[in-house]
Amino acid sequence: MPPFMGQNGAFREVSASATLVKAAESITSSAQFCPFAPTTLRPCGLCVAQPRKKRRIADHNAGKSPHTAKYTPWELLWYRTMTEVIPSVEDLRGRHVKLVPTASREEFEIEIKKFEDPTRRLWDEVWFRGQADSEWPLFTTLERRVPLMSAVSAYLRVISEIKPAVETFTGLTFEAIKRQDIDQVCREYDRFQFRFGEGLTYMAHLRHGGFPSPLLDWTSSPYVAAYFAFARARHKGNVAIYAYHERPENMKIGGPYSQIVSYGPILKTHKRHFRQQSRYTICVAYVKDQWHFMPHEGVFYQRDGLKQDLLWKITVPASERMKALRYFDKFNLNEFTLFDSEEGLLEMLATRVIDMRLWSCN
């Protein structure tokens, strides 16, 4: 995952000494940039990964990087490699992330029980998210599909454009931010969280339907998160189940840099929202008088000493997959109950009559 770039160092929260990119004083043609995000840029892996930094900077600025040569108005001043931006296990002290390695499904269950607190208020939830590979970053589907679409206004215009088609096919009517109000909403600082939430019903529906989304989806159930982690884990590494606690001390301090905004659970939207006990977060920053989507890890890996936005990353060997899926199926936690579709039914049956039987024979 290459680090995010920002015009004139606007995105410095990604690292204490962040990657900087400077734009030319006058940009004559926006066609040289991604049409959705003219103020952001990611370098290619060649520019970021190589240890010979001075030569790579020269190559980048000379347009020799195949992925960034078209961004001619930009000058790369300096950059950091991923090992410098995303800290190692030994360098997490003072950050918001705690790594919790486990050796089995049983050990995982012991760890998640530590998050249970009968004195915690109903609204003070710990949320969970499962990922099939512990090496994957916490990316939204929008970041994976269109890395350069950072402007919130650009995304809102896209989903406004497809709204008539979605409503025609589903027979539903969605409340969303009106197209003529998008620019105003994305420039409001104090009321942005509330105004953005006006379209959450529609955005959550799109997310559950598979459309690229800036929503990072979580669940209030650690077992649902673990199912999603193990169901698609067909490798020899580890899966990851994340636990997220937004306000451990019943308060949260905003700032000039990236911030995580949470939504849920009371939301009228797709049925899968309730089947999966879904919750959602977005990560945004106010840059050059408008809101931009930012990577969540920019918040989790910063070192600011604040007791908020805490994250635990619990890893479990992927080899525990069939044992875990068989255990979850005893409680009717499977692809069909989570998705309520014919595809989900067939996946559940295939897991039961093929995968589990083969696993039992070994």
221 shares a domain with 115 = yes
- pLDDT of amino acid 47: 38
Question: Would 341 be classed as within a structural domain?
Answer: no
Question: Would 207 be classed as within a structural domain?
Answer: yes
Question: Would 77 be classed as within a structural domain?
Answer: yes
- pLDDT of amino acid 147: 77
Query: How many domains in the chain?
Result: 2
Question: Would 273 be classed as within a structural domain?
Answer: yes
Q: Chain centroid to CA 298: how far?
A: 11
322, 338, 357 - which closes a domain:
322
79 shares a domain with 91 = no
Q: What is the DSSP string of 208-269?
A: HHT---S-EEEES-HHHHHHHHHHT--SSSEEEEEEEES-TTS-----SS-EEEEE-SS---
Question: Would 359 be classed as within a structural domain?
Answer: no
84, 109, 125 - which closes a domain:
84
161 shares a domain with 254 = yes
Q: What is the CA radius of gyration of the chain?
A: 22
114 shares a domain with 67 = no
49, 84, 119 - which closes a domain:
84
44 shares a domain with 185 = no
290 shares a domain with 207 = yes
CB 252 within 8 A of CB 308: yes
Across the chain, which has 362 residues, the per-10-residue mean pLDDT values are 32 31 28 32 38 56 62 48 42 72 96 90 90 94 86 95 96 92 92 92 96 96 97 91 92 80 90 96 91 90 82 96 95 96 96 87 67
Alpha-carbon span 152 to 159, nearest angstrom = 11
Question: Would 7 be classed as within a structural domain?
Answer: no
Q: Is the dihedral of CA 330, 337, 315, 350 positive or negative?
A: positive
What's the pTM value of the predicted model, to 2 decimals?
0.76
206 shares a domain with 179 = yes
- CA quadruple 101, 103, 109, 111: dihedral, nearest 10: -30
185 shares a domain with 207 = yes
285 shares a domain with 188 = yes
Question: Would 344 be classed as within a structural domain?
Answer: no
Here the tokens at position 337 are: 């109950």
**Domain ranges, residue 53:** 12-84
76 shares a domain with 93 = no
99 shares a domain with 70 = no
Here the tokens at position 173 are: 């009517």
Question: Would 124 be classed as within a structural domain?
Answer: yes
41 shares a domain with 123 = no
